[in-house]
Structure 1
Amino acid sequence: MPPFPELKNDTILKAARGERTDYVPVWVMRQAGRYLPEFRQIRLHHDFFDICRTPELASEVTLQPIRRYDRLDAAIIFSDILVVPQALGMEVNMLPKQGPVLPSPLMEPQDVKMKLRSTVDVKSELGYVFDAITLTRHKLEGKVPLIGFAGAPWTLMTYMIEGGGSKTMQASKRWLYQYPYDCFQLLDKITTIVIDFLVQQVLAGAQMLQLFDSHVGYLTQAHFRQFELPFLKKIASEVKERLRNEGVDPVPMVIFPKDGHHVLSDLGEDPSYFDVISLDWTIDPAKARAQVHDRITLQGNLDPCALYSEFDEIDQLVNEMINQFGTEKYIANLGHGIYPDVKPECLGTFLNAVRKHSVAINKSK
């Protein structure tokens, strides 16, 4: 393919690097998805993972919100964090009203050798993601940057052991207490694949990366420091090092530790790892800012349910959010993914409000 088109809007990349911007950039987790009628039309004819594995379809879904909204400052590739367990040889099904199901989860440590591939050729197993990224970069025509992503090791491990979602993560936490050595081995195995996966996404065209640690809230702080933090740091440092070795400038890296009040200070003490920390809706921006290095950008964190409000109320909530975060070293987002029954017009109101209020605040300085 020819060289990628020149990027016309790099506002979100500047904010991620801590540079001043004319307005607060914004994107939304799960912005390519079920709340859009155009996505639901595609879904009528294609299985969820078929869309992920078909670069033309994944690219089309990625572009749908960019076409609909002119205030989005980034696209995020349509995929799923569970493509990594699939690459390891596990079956993953996306069931209606139930979400992801892994019908043959890891029950005991010996299952790691019995049910998982000993090695994974990431380029081969996940090449469809890289093809979708490259295709989408060209189709974006430089309008906004493209975000790639992966799941964090602990979060992926929980799905692989629980066999899907869980309210307690009891089975996964049992492993931490009963089989700590085996947990280290499994987490290291997942980490190696995640590093390869993220590096290849950048080489394919991703301009920013987000690591989803959706289940970090189930860990004690001691377990986070023992079983997750070392692997998160390894991912951040090795991705950047490997990109430099490839002659590629490292891209901004975001960590999203959902329900991670108790780990913010650990994640935010050293800006050499993650450039951006994304916050869920339960975290006070001022308290979060006080716990992280002043060079780190914050992202978030409007309650996704706020988008059920009337337009005027959404506008006011966004104004309050931006005043709490400030307009520097900040990327606006929801505190988690947009829900499937949210009206697209409500998201449009959110996006317009971010631009309007952040510009007004900057002009008043």
Structure 2
Amino acid sequence: MITTTIQNDLFIRAAFSQQTERPPVWMMRQAGRFMKEYWDIKNKYSFLEMCKTPEIAADVTLLPVDLLGIDAAILFSDILVTAEAMGGELSFTQGVGPRFANPIRNEKDIDALSIAVEEKLRYVADAIRVVQQRLNGAIPLIGFAGAPFTVLSYLVEGGSSKDFKLTKLFLNNHPALAHKLLDKIATVTITYLNMQIAAGVNALQLFDSWALALSWDDYQEFAHQYNVKIIAELKRTGIPIISFCKGSSVFAPLMAEARPDVISVDWNADLRRIKQTLPKGIAVQGNLDPFVLYADQAVIKKKIIQLLERMRDEEGFIFNLGHGIMPDIPFDNVKFAVDVIKEFRY
């Protein structure tokens, strides 16, 4: 593991529930389509080319560092690169999103997936090294992966889904096959995240983006136990891990049992109340509704200050959104929001 002294370590301190003079701020999808500079790059390359070319991935990763002044960078990549490395035939189409040409339908499809992915994902490690060289210890770099249930949902649906019908049929009618697939994805995810740690990330986030599709019992069986396994098997001394899902306001008590350092909370919950129900030493991240960033700047400031004041006496708070920035949110509003947070003091 590469170790560098981080000049602005607010994010790391907050992630480990240590005292900070103000909340650190970063935002999910902060290196994305709401920035003109992102499109200047995107118009030259396909999405997967951007992910797989370390210098380009580094360029995009650093856009919000340079343009927004956030307290942590997150590697530009995608949660589905693990599924592609396993053998999923992945493509991205503008306006459609990710598609797998060979969706999982039976045990033979699962058996065809490889768990020997490290060489295929070497480009991610290379991108991490380029980013860290350029950051030169200024702020932390967050690595990430998709959690097994969420990755399974894409492989079974063949892409995005509004109702997860095929996924739920698969879980209900073929639970043994679902567990076989989940176990493979979990094994790959552990390898992948440990590779990121070795390459030099300073923190990790596990994205179980679509866990809200599950009932409580199904979350326990098909999501939670695999997230527990992943977090337990990471070689991450000094590297905090954030657990995120849509539905964290519901599943937070279970998520805490996996022993992440931080739980990222959606905007449906009172963040302070969630924090106070969690075991001591687990920080929270969130949880502004990203749609607030469409509003007038006076409204944005009011809503942010309300959240910051609500969390004033709580150790272990990272400001973020309840989910990612939407592509058409005005850049100036995002920059304004970051500035408001950075001016705040406990």
Coarse TM-score class (shorter-chain normalised): over 0.9
Matched with 2:90 is: 92
Note the 1:310-325 alignment, pairs <5 A.
310-325=296-311
Q: Is the 8 A contact 1:149 1:212 kept in 2?
A: yes
Structure 2 Cα separation of the partners of residues 73 and 109 of structure 1: 44
Matched with 1:187 is: 182
- Of 248, 273, 295 in structure 2, the residue corresponding to residue 287 of structure 1 is 273
Matched with 2:240 is: 252
Q: Are residues 1:77 and 2:64 paired?
A: no
Matched with 1:336 is: 323
The secondary structure found in structure 2 opposite 1:24 is: coil
How far did residue 294 of structure 1 move? 2.5
Q: Is the 8 A contact 2:263 2:283 kept in 1?
A: yes
- Of 330, 342, 346 in structure 2, the residue corresponding to residue 355 of structure 1 is 342
Q: Is the 8 A contact 1:5 1:138 kept in 2?
A: no
Matched with 1:303 is: 289
The secondary structure found in structure 2 opposite 1:352 is: helix
Matched with 2:33 is: 34
The secondary structure found in structure 2 opposite 1:150 is: strand
Instruction: Report Cα offsets for 1:248-293 as digits up to 9, x if no partner.
Output: x2400000021233311111246xx200000111122133124321
Matched with 1:246 is: none
Instruction: Report Cα offsets for 1:174-230 as digits up to 9, x if no partner.
Output: 111111111111101000000010011011010000000101001111111112111
Q: Is the 8 A contact 2:82 2:117 kept in 1?
A: no
Note the 1:107-256 alignment, pairs <5 A.
107-114=105-112, 116-117=113-114, 119-122=115-118, 124-240=119-235, 243=236, 249-256=237-244
How far did residue 30 of structure 1 move? 0.7
Moved over 4 A (4+): none
The AA in structure 2 aligned to 1:260 is S
Structure 2 Cα separation of the partners of residues 27 and 189 of structure 1: 31
The secondary structure found in structure 1 opposite 2:233 is: helix
The secondary structure found in structure 2 opposite 1:312 is: helix
Structure 1 Cα separation of the partners of residues 256 and 160 of structure 2: 28
Query: Aligned in 2, Cα 1:292/1:269: closer, same or farther, shift over 3 Å?
Result: farther
Count of matched residue positions in the alignment of Structure 1 and Structure 2: 344
Aligned-residue sequence identity (percent) comes to 36
Q: Is the 8 A contact 1:304 1:336 kept in 2?
A: yes
Q: Is the 8 A contact 2:148 2:226 kept in 1?
A: yes
Instruction: Report Cα offsets for 1:80-128 as digits up to 9, x if no partner.
Output: 00001110111111111111111221122332124x23x3131x01000
The AA in structure 1 aligned to 2:215 is T
The AA in structure 1 aligned to 2:322 is G
Q: Is the 8 A contact 1:267 1:292 kept in 2?
A: no
Please, which runs of 5 or more residues in structure 2 have no aligned partner? none
Structure 1 Cα separation of the partners of residues 210 and 4 of structure 2: 37
CA RMSD of aligned residues (A): 1.4
The AA in structure 1 aligned to 2:243 is I
Please, which runs of 5 or more residues in structure 1 have no aligned partner? 244-248
